[in-house]
Amino acid sequence: MVAAATATRDLPGVDGAVPAAQVHAAALAGLSDLPGLVVRDHTAVPD
């Protein structure tokens, strides 16, 4: 997954809105914990 090619938005939370940057970081962290690879941008994708 190329992190720079993904996006999100603020999402409603129990105590108010969760900022998009926080949602993005948490989603990518969850994906990288699975058998997958998360890289910052396309230059880090192996051929």
Instruction: Report, as an integer, the average pLDDT of 22-38.
Output: 87
Instruction: Report, as an integer, the average pLDDT of 13-23.
Output: 96
Counting residues of the chain whose pLDDT is more than 90, the rounded percentage is 53
The continuous run of DSSP H or E covering 16 comes out as: strand 16-18
45 pLDDT more than 90: no
Q: Where does 1-47 show beta strands of DSSP type E?
A: 11-13, 16-18
33 pLDDT more than 80: yes
The continuous run of DSSP H or E covering 17 comes out as: strand 16-18
